Amino acid sequence: MTKNKDSQLLLSLYRTMRLIRVAESSLIKLFADSEIPGFIHLSIGQEAVAAGVMAALEERDTVATNHRGHGHVLARGMELDLFFKELMGKDGGICRGRGGSMHVADRSKGILGANGIVGAGIPIALGSALAHSVRGTGGVAVAFFGDGAMAEGVLHESLNMAALWKLPMLFVCEHNGWSEFSQTKEQFVAELADLARAFGIQHVQVDGNNVEEVALAAQQLTSQARAGGPRILECKTHRIRGHFEGDSQKYRNAEELIAADDCDPLIFARAMIEQCGVAPAAVDGIDAEVEAQVAASVLAGRADRQPDFAQAFADVYTATAAQG
């Protein structure tokens, strides 16, 4: 890769990460001001995983994510207005205000949904990989999950089936050390590498705060998975905010939180970009563009109307049932 190309890729990854950061930072305020109902789970600190993995995917690929999935769907290209409207519970939201933060999906981008049940997206992605295989689409299905999902049975069942059937699937673990409010090491006795070995699946662990490293590994693993056979990408990262927004994180010590701040993937990426010789002003320009974009989407979200109850009620089943 030439230096120029390298910096172009980095800039594009940086833009995605900055978009996620700014979008989620704006959610903090919207949530505090009750403009976002329910719960939200922020991925601040983990943006490099979303940006790096999504950069490796093609249009035909499918993705299932989890309750901490804002970064994934934004990196996959969900329209920002549709995202904000959904989180604000508005009619113009991607799911017409019926799903909210934990249940965003975007068929047009192959996003099979975020999921409110820990680990539940993994076997859905498995089924999607099966469909790619049966239908010969050439697509890969990606499952995003946190280390908290390592204790869920469906992960183990899915690893088995994916390996057994050599499915085009990438398992992406965002390993932030926390299973909701408990440390994963107090919840789960094995390592993901052990599971990978047990099921005969190639496993790669990367620094999940280094977007270049994530992107290169994801690129390699998805092309291998596309050729047939699952792969596991484990990204060691940090969850800077709590399990959910509003969680005061009393269960974490100050050193750990400070250490997490020191591993900010955006600061890393910016330093790398500047090492490539890109002027700081160019990066600042991206920041400003992204901030304007997010601010516009927040306004669009505010301006949108509330969803219609009768319409929602009518939409539980498909209107035209088939005849046998």
Partner 1 sequence: MAEIRYMEAINRALQDGMAADENVIVMGEDVARAGGSFKATRGLLDKFGARRVIDTPIAESTIVSAAVGAAMTGLKPVVEIMFMDFITLAMDAMVNQAAKARFMFGGQFNVPMVLRTPHGGGLNAGPQHSQCLEAWFAHVPGLKVVCPSNPQDAYSLLRAAISDPDPVVFIEHKALYGKRGEVDTAIGAQIGKARIARPGRDVTIVTYGNTVHASLQAAAQLAGENIEVEVIDLRSLQPWDEQAVYESVSRTHRVVVVHEAVKSFGSGAEIAASITENVFYELDAPVMRVGSPFMPVPFATSLEAQYVIKPADIADAVRVTMAGGR
- Among residues 95, 151, 286, 300, which is the contact residue for partner 1, using CB under 8 A? 95
Q: Which of residues 150-209 bind partner 1 (CB under 8 A)?
A: 153-154, 157-158, 160-161, 164
Is residue 26 within 8 A of residue 88, CB to CB? The reply is no
When binding is defined by CB under 8 A, the residue of 52, 69, 93, 265 that contacts partner 1 is: 93
- Exposed/middle/buried for residue 9 (C-beta within 10 Å: 0-12, 13-18, 19+): middle
Orientation angle between helical segments 47-54 and 3-32, nearest 10 degrees: 130
Give the span between the Cα atoms of 238 and 184, in whole angstroms. 13
Considering only residues 54, 78, 141, 233, which one is a binding residue for partner 1 as defined by CB under 8 A?
141
Distance CA 290, CA 295 (A): 9
* Stretch near partner 1 under the rule CB under 8 A, chosen from 26-34, 99-107, 180-188, 236-244: 99-107
Q: Which of 45, 123, 146, 230 binds partner 1 (CB under 8 A)?
A: 123
Q: Does residue number 300 form part of the binding site for partner 1 (CB under 8 A)?
A: no
Nearer CB in complex with partner 1: 47/106: 106
Can you say whether residue 209 is alpha, beta or left, with left for phi > 0 and alpha for psi between -120 and 50 degrees?
Answer: alpha
Residues 6+ away with beta carbon under 8 Å from 51: 13, 14, 16, 17, 20, 71, 75, 211, 214, 215
Q: For residue 79, state whether it binds partner 1 (rule: CB under 8 A).
A: no
Binding-site member from 13, 20, 112, 273 for partner 1 (CB under 8 A): 112
Of the residues 34, 255, 310, 324, which one makes contact with partner 1 according to CB under 8 A: 324
State the nearest-atom distance from the C-beta of 100 to partner 1, in Å.
Answer: 9
312 binds partner 1 (CB under 8 A): yes
d(CA 211, CA 10): 8
Judged by CB under 8 A, does residue 250 bind partner 1? no
Note whether 64 binds partner 1 by CB under 8 A.
Answer: yes
Looking at beta carbons only, is 24 or 152 nearer to partner 1?
152
Count CB atoms within 10 A of the CB of residue 173. 26
CB of 223 within 8 A of CB of 217? Answer: no
In whole angstroms, how close is the CB of 304 to partner 1 at the nearest point? 13
CA–CA dist 190, 174 (Å, integer): 16
Nearer to partner 1, 34 or 323 (CB): 323
CB 225 within 8 A of CB 140: yes
Residues that bind partner 1 (CB under 8 A): 62, 64, 93-99, 103, 105-107, 112-113, 115-117, 120, 122-132, 134-135, 137, 141, 153-154, 157-158, 160-161, 164, 312, 315-318, 320-324
